[in-house]
Every structure is written in structure tokens, then in C-alpha cells.
Structure 1
Amino acid sequence: MTKILVADDEADLELLIKQRFRKQIRENKYQFVFALNGKEALAQLEVEKDIDVVLSDINMPEMDGLTLLSQLTELSPLIKTVIVSAYGDMDNIRTAMNRGAFDFICKPVNFQDLELTIEKTVQHVNQLKKTLQAIKENDILRMYVDESVLHFMKSKEFEKALMANEIIDATVVFIDICGFTSIMEKEPADKVVKLLNKYFDVMVKAIIAQGGHVDKFMGDAVMAVFRGDFHLDRAIEASLTLRAQIEALPPEENGAGYMPKVSIGINSGEMISGNIGSATLKRLDYTVLGDVVNTAQRLQSAATAGQIFIEESSYQKVKEFFNCRKVGEFTVKNKEKPLVAYEVLN
């Protein structure tokens, strides 16, 4: 529904407009608000924040239409004004247009012309709103997506690349914030979200510093992937760093009596990388999957607060560079042999 403000000191104009546009009013296409002069119109705009179109006379007491027009331009660039006046000389038309009028209609009013002008003005306002929304969405997108990715999304290769997949050698890390459920039960929602985002920000910085990328956020957990040279070593370095930084956060920055700790599972090897989801819904998630990923998640589940778990093959690769201790064996669903876990100490 479009809300239209009519500013005119002719009392009978309100009745004429309600009669002419009764069908649109009944169907909730238009809603009209009325004022007898420019001063009343500004007061209405203070109350009715969602007015899109103004129809204004020029000659009105207290504040004329041209003065109102100047103030409307400063008040909101989205509000579009159509001047409806008997003063249809070129000087008034030019003054109105220079002050930002969208259109000019001469009295006596041809209501068919007025109806078409309103429709045209409403379409223009709606187009402006869509453009602003697109700009906002692009700005928001830039917060989450690298600039080079945005350029790629506009290229012809983007659609073809959407469904591409590959086998990669990488390291996947699962990080869970231990005991955060208790905070959600005690603290208000706004505090919970702010705390969670603060912890995630610490983790993300440590991950990026070691050349990893965040694959996804899952509730109060993070999944990260490291590729390239020494990806396992870098994943462990990032995990040690973020664990220390999370545990070093001042108590006053956390929830009541809550001291955050993380449990981490790390696994390395070949995995599938590609877009997973529904092409019909146009919702795809570029991620990794496979036994290596599943094992990393189960290692994280087995770890307790403050622990970083890796399995046997990863231990053999990094044992000369990191201090580890054997935790023992535990049974994993869908695996014939028990999984041997090692805790990375430092």
C-alpha cells in the first residue's frame, strides 16, 4: 500500500479525492492523509513516517507549497512531490522543478490525469526503493565476500563454476565453544549474540592469520579449512593461538561467571570440495565433505574443554614439531577400527 499526503487548503478537495480513488482506497492500494497547509503537512510527516508521495498546492496559508517543497527535499530524497496548483505559469513550474518537484498538474484538476500521474510517481518511488535495497544488499555482501569473488560472480564463468567440484588435500578443523548453552539460558538474547560474535571474531582472526578460511558457522561452533603448503601445521598453529586467546579474555567481557573454553578436532587428508545444496532453491553451500571431515568432527566431540585432538596419521606428520600426548582409542560410528586420538599440548 502506498501512502499519499495531500496538502491543500481547499476543503472540498479531500472529498473529491476520496470519491475518485474510492476503489484504490477500498483495495488498500492507496491511503490518503490530508493537511490544510505546508506546516500541517510537515507535522503529518513527523507522525506518518511511511509517506511516499505528496500532492501539494502552491498558494496555502502559514506555509506555501514551494517552501514545503524545499523542506521535503531536505527531509527525505525518497518522497516525491507533485504540485497541483492553479498557478500554472512557467515561473512557478520552473521554480517547483528546480526545488525538486517530480511533476506539475494545473487546476482545475483533470482527475484522469491526476490518477495517471500518481501511478507514474508511485512506480518511480518503488524503483528508487528497489535500487536502494540492491545497494544495501551489495554493501552487506561486501562485508562477507572478498572483492575478487564479487567480480567473479558477475562473470560468464560463474554459473559453470557453481556446480564444479574437486578432490583436494586439506586440513579441516572443528571448534566448539564449550558450555555456551548455559549462557543462552541465563543471558538475554542480545548479550548472547554479542558474546558469540566476539568469540567468533577471535577465532576467525587466528584462522585467517594462518591462511585458513571459515567454511561455516554452526550454532556455537566453527568449521575451518586449510589448504596449500603445510596446511596441517598451520591448522594446529591457528588452533593453539585461538585457544589461548579465547581463554585469556577478561572475565568482565563474558557472561556472569562464564569462562570460555574451546574443544577442537583436527583431521587432514583428501576430501571433496564443491557446491552442495539445491539448485532449484538457488541455495548452495561451497563446502568440503568426506570421511576426513566426519572424523574431524568426531575428534572434536571426543575432546573436552581446552583440548585439541588429532588422530594417528596426523600425529606422525607433526610429532617432531608439536608436543602431543596419546589419549587412547575410542570407537567411532561406521569405522571398523577404533580411532587413536592424540592431544596437542603446545
Structure 2
Amino acid sequence: MTATILVVDDEPDLEALVLQKFRKQIRDGTVTFMFAHDGIEALQSIEDHPHVDMVVSDINMPRMDGLSLLQKLQEAEDKKSTIIVSAYGDMSNIRVAMNRGAFDFLTKPIDFGDLEMTIDKTIRHVEMMRDARRRQAEAERAHASLSRYFSPQIALRLASDGEGNGMEVHRREVATIFTDITSFTSLVETAAPEVLGALLNEYVGGMTDVVFAHEGTVAKIIGDAIQILFNAPGDQPDYATRAIACAHDLDNWAQEFRERWKAKGVNFGATRIGVHAGPALVGNFGGSRFFDYTAYGDTINIAARLEAANKFLGTRICVSATVADGTEKFKGRPVGDLMLRGRSEPLRAYEPLSAAAFEGPARVQYCEAFAKLETEDAAAMPAFAALVGLHADDALAGFHLRRLLNGAKGARMQLE
């Protein structure tokens, strides 16, 4: 680095003396000097040459003295490190200079050895401050980039730790949410492009805000489908609880969104949500040119299958027993043992419920009927029939009643 130093002094011989004393450093390219004869000339010189690194200024000068110049320099956005030169014993002006932000001071007559050491110290300070600003700018760029994928809290932590920290591919336990919109393809084929663009952008933006409120990670957005992660990239011991809470809020937001657009004459489908937890391969899979932080593995596939299961069950949220068991004070009701595509063993699934629905009599009645279903009790059919008679809008109870009417038995079911 070549340090550019502006010397401000009205003494006619000082320029020649400085160039003579620092000729080796000038020849080596470590420093370059500029000169001004008063504060006004110095400010103009800095305006013309903003790359000036530091200023060495006398106090007593015509038009604008050194203390006034120092104040102007400290008021600027790019505060120049300034060494003030004062008469020996002029402690009053030295105190004023230091209080106004001078980096250091020298006394007259100038000891050029002392000047050289002070300049070297100031250059080190300038380099340190420049490096700090560079790191801050890099952190801000990293934070802006990471904020597209992660909640503000996680993005800030990752940017502080370094953008690549935690991004390497590794295996870890995660909770994952898959969401999809019912009949979205038909909407794409019929809606005007400007309507579809506004609708989808508002939908994805709102859903992302909900995810970030729970400090989740948006791993993928493919059309209308969203993949969400918890416990990645950072540790979240309560990741299952977070995932369930997030699923509830996503469902509530999507329902409100659907009603808003329905009032505008747009038939927007219901959002289906699947949640599972387990090991997954997590990290940046985008190579050196792209950033693609996501997760792969059976855990991710199961969450997607649970999302699709809602279509058959009539539910909007379907979660695995793994998530339900890992959630503090889980409130829900059993769906059954699902035989999902690609799996040889059944997976117990649940429908999460709001606190009001969980405490209500309908949930108790459903669980009593489901207990009969599990044991293949013949009383299961009239129990579900009675439930549907009281709650015709209970889609899951209606699903089980239809199964029983079609001759099915037990809680194990093949949906696909």
C-alpha cells in the first residue's frame, strides 16, 4: 500500500525538507506527499484527491487554521486521520486538537525522526481501519445474500461468523416442512399473467415471512411449492416444536390469503402442509458459482409424501409421529398408519389441532372412534357415522367412514 499524506503548513521551506527527509520512502513507493498552505487549500485538495489517507497540519495558518480544518475533517463522512503540529508547550491547543479527534500531535520545531515514527503509526492505524471497513462491507454483503434464504436472526449470525460457516454439506437431524397449493396448475393455465405474478409473489413473500418469524430456513421454492428446514444451518434443540408452530401459522396465513383473493374473484386452492423430522444431508449443493442451501434424504421425501397425503385425507396439515413425539405438549389427533410410496413399513401420522379444537368434545369423540378402528372393532363404523352426523365438515372423520363403508379395516392404509 502507498500511503498518501497531505501536509498543510504555510512555511515555505517545509515542502523541500519533507521531500528530502522521506526521499527513500517516496522512491520505494511506500508514501507519497501532497502539500497545501492553509485549511481552505487543504479541503480543496482532499475534494480533488479523496484517496488521501492522512493529514499532517500546523495550527497557525492564514484563512483557515489547523483546528478549524481538523473540525471540518472530523465532520466529513470519511474522517481523515490527522496529526496536529503545535508550538512546544502549547498545551491548550493540543488539548483542543485531541478533543476534536486528532489522531496524534507533534511539537515544533519538528523532529523528523519523530515525524517518521508518528506517520508510520498513523499508517498502521489507517490500514487497520480500512481492513475493518472492508470486513464490515463483506459482512453486510453476506448478510444481504443470506437474508434471501434465512431468517434475519440466522442470517446475521452466519454473516458474523463468515458466510461459508455451516454451509458445507453434512448430515444432521432436521425437521422439514413441505407445502403445496391445491389445483395450482389449473390456475396457472387460466389466470392472467399479471394476476398470477402478483398472487404468487404475495403468497411466497407472506409464507416466507411466517417461516422467518419462527427462525426457519427456506430451502427451496419451486413454483407454488416451498421446502422449509429447522435445525439447519444452526442448532435449534426445539426444532420439532418450531416446525409444528410454523405449520399452524402457515396454515392460518394461507387460509386468510385464500379468502382475500377469493373476494377478488380468484379461486386460489388450499395449501397442503407435510411435516417430518429425521436425518438429512444438508448444505450448499450449488458448487462454487451458485448458492443452493437445501437438504436431501428419506426425511425430506417423507415430508413431501405427507403433504401429498392431505389430498386423500381431506386434511391441510399432516405430520409424522416423529415430529409429534418431539413436540412439547403436542396437540393433535391420529390419522392412521400410512403406507407411503417407497417405504416398506407404515408411518403413523397425525393431524395437528388448534388448542380450541384439541380441547373440544369432537376431538374426544374422534379419538374414541379411532381407538375402535385400530382394534378393528365393528363399532368403529357407527362411531364415525355419529361423528360425521354431528360434524359434517370433519373431513378426516368422513375419510375413515368411507373406508369402513368400502370394507376397509384397521388403521393401516395405502393412499397412493
TM-score between the two structures when normalised by the length of structure 1: 0.56
For the 8 Å contact 1:271–1:290, the answer to whether it is kept is: no
Question: Aligned with 1:114: secondary structure?
Answer: helix
- 2:11 matches 1:10: yes
Give the corresponding residue for 2:323. Answer: none
Q: Give CA deviations for 1:10-53 in whole Å, capped at 9, x if unaligned.
A: 34433433344345445553343321111111222333334331
CA contact (8 A) 2:280 2:300 kept: no
> Tell me, what secondary structure is at the counterpart of 1:6?
strand
Counterpart in the other structure of 1:303: none
Distance 1:115 1:208, change over 3 A: closer
Q: Once the two structures are superposed, what CA deviation does each residue of 1:190-230 show, in whole Å capped at 9, x if it has no partner?
A: xxxxxx99775433124457x57233367988532474475
d(CA) in 2 for partners of 1:63, 1:83: 14
Give the whole-Å Cα distance in 1 for the aligned partners of 2:140 and 2:65. Answer: 40
1:171 is matched with 177
Secondary structure of the corresponding residue to residue 53 of structure 2: strand
Deviation at 1:141, TM superposition (A): 5.3
Could you say if the C-alpha distance between residues 82 and 28 of structure 1 is closer, same or farther in structure 2, counting changes exceeding 3 Å?
same
Change in 2 beyond 3 A, CA 1:98/1:243: closer
Q: Which runs of 5+ in 2 are unaligned?
A: 189-199, 231-239, 318-341, 344-416
Give the distance between the partners of 1:59 and 1:134, measured in 2 at CA. Answer: 38
Secondary structure of 1:5's aligned partner: strand
1:288 partner amino acid:
A
Partner of 2:153: 146
Greater strand share, 1 or 2? 1
Is the aligned partner of 1:319 residue 2:333? no
Q: What are the equivalent positions in structure 2 for 1:24-103 lying under 5 Å apart?
A: 24-26=25-27, 28-76=29-77, 78-85=79-86, 87-91=87-91, 92-103=93-104
- Rounded to whole Å, the distance in 2 between the matches of 1:150 and 1:16 is 52
Residues 4 and 31, structure 1, Cα contact 8 Å, conserved in 2:
yes
RMSD of aligned C-alpha atoms?
Answer: 5.4
State the distance in 1 between where 2:97 and 2:157 align.
42
1:283-312 CA distance string (max 9 Å, x none): x99753214535878x9xxxxxxxxx943x
CA deviations on 1:105-143 (whole Å, 9 max, x unpaired) are 233433232121111112223334455566674898597
Which of 206, 209, 212 is equivalent to 1:205? 209
Q: Which residue of 2 aligns with 1:305?
A: none
Deviates more, 1:22-31 or 1:59-68: 22-31
**TM-score normalised per structure 2:** 0.48
Deviation at 1:57, TM superposition (A): 1.3
Q: 1: CA distance between counterparts of 2:226 and 2:123?
A: 46
Distance 1:241 1:24 in 2: 71
SS in 2 for 1:146: helix
Q: Does 1:276 align with 2:290?
A: no
SS at match of 1:84: strand
Q: Could you tell me which residue of structure 2 aligns to residue 290 of structure 1? A: 297
Distance change (3 Å), C-alpha of 1:245 and 1:29: farther
Greater Rg by CA: 2
Contact 1:173 1:225 in 2 (8 A): no
Task: Tell me how far 1:98 sits from its aligned partner.
Answer: 3.3
Amino acid aligned to 1:276: G
| Distance 1:37-1:168 versus aligned 2 partners, 3 A rule | closer
Give the aligned length. 277
| 2:388 aligned partner | none
Decide whether the 8 Å contact of 1:39 with 1:63 is kept in 2: yes
Question: How far 1:90 sits from its partner (Å)?
Answer: 3.1
Is 2:273–2:316's contact at 8 Å kept on the other side of the alignment?
no
> Is the 1:207–1:214 Cα contact (8 Å) retained in structure 2?
yes
Counterpart code for 1:319: G
CA distance in 1, matches of 2:52, 2:250: 57
2:228 is aligned with what amino acid? A
Structure 1 pair 236–314 and aligned structure 2 pair: CA distance change class (3 A): farther
The Cα shift of 1:7 comes to 0.9
Residues 97, 242 of structure 1: alpha-carbon distance in 2 compared, 3 angstrom cutoff: same
Q: Indicate how the Cα distance of structure 1 residues 236 and 107 shifts in structure 2: closer, same or farther if over 3 A, else same.
A: closer
Mark the runs of 5 or more structure 1 residues left unpaired by the alignment: 180-195, 251-258, 300-308, 323-334, 337-346
Instruction: Tell me the equivalent position of 2:126.
Output: 125
Question: Is the 1:6–1:56 Cα contact (8 Å) retained in structure 2?
Answer: yes
Structure 2: how far apart are the matches of 1:110 and 1:88? 12
The one of the two structures with greater contact order (alpha-carbon pairs below 8 A, sep at least 6) is: 1
Are residues 270 and 75 of structure 1, via their aligned partners in 2, closer, same or farther at CA, if it must alter by over 3 Å?
closer
Judge conservation of contact 2:172–2:282 (CA < 8 Å) in 1: no
What is the distance in 2 between the residues matched to 1:93 and 1:197? 60
State the identity %.
32
Quick one: distance in 1 between partners of 2:67 and 2:228? 60
